[in-house]
Amino acid sequence: MIILGVDPGTLFCGYGIIELKKTTPLYINSGVINLTKEKELPQKLKIIYDKIEELIQDYSPNEFAIETAFYGKNIQSAMKIGYARGVALLAAVHSDLHITEYSPREVKKAVVGTGAASKEQIQYMVSSFLKIQTDKKKFDETDALAIALCHAFRFKSVAQKNVSWKSFVEAFPERIIG
């Protein structure tokens, strides 16, 4: 299973692609969509959409995981992140990917073990799990990989616990079309 994780933003939008082989997550690719040179928000959103769509075409992920919006003090920032999330989600929907959203605390807890983990702790654990160097990667990139890992760990734990279709359906009711 190939998972595309996205850490949305309108200055830097991180992405991480991993493959879950049996129970082992493997690094495929990651990066940051740098939007700092663009002045207009609509152009930034187009770039995010186009890049996510390109990644989907190039890597054919089965799953799309994205961080949910968080509520900060600055409503304008929250709205801009919401726009970035929206175009990334739209690219995934247009490609018929299964989408799962995770809160920042959920991702931190899955990857580090505590929902109050720092960016540095996330970066260290991503490096450890995927056996890659992360010291030269931006936090947006390692956060996106952490989102993909969080999703992989969810599948891994369900796969170990559940061996029947009934238990799969109970674990993932949102995947039932009917």
CA distance 131 to 149: 13
Q: Is 69 helix (H, G, I), strand (E, B) or coil?
A: coil
- Six-digit token pair at 160? 């170990």
Report the C-alpha gap between 146 and 110 in whole angstroms.
8
Residues forming the active site: 7, 67, 140
Q: Helices 75-94 and 41-59 sit at what angle, rounded to 10 degrees?
A: 40
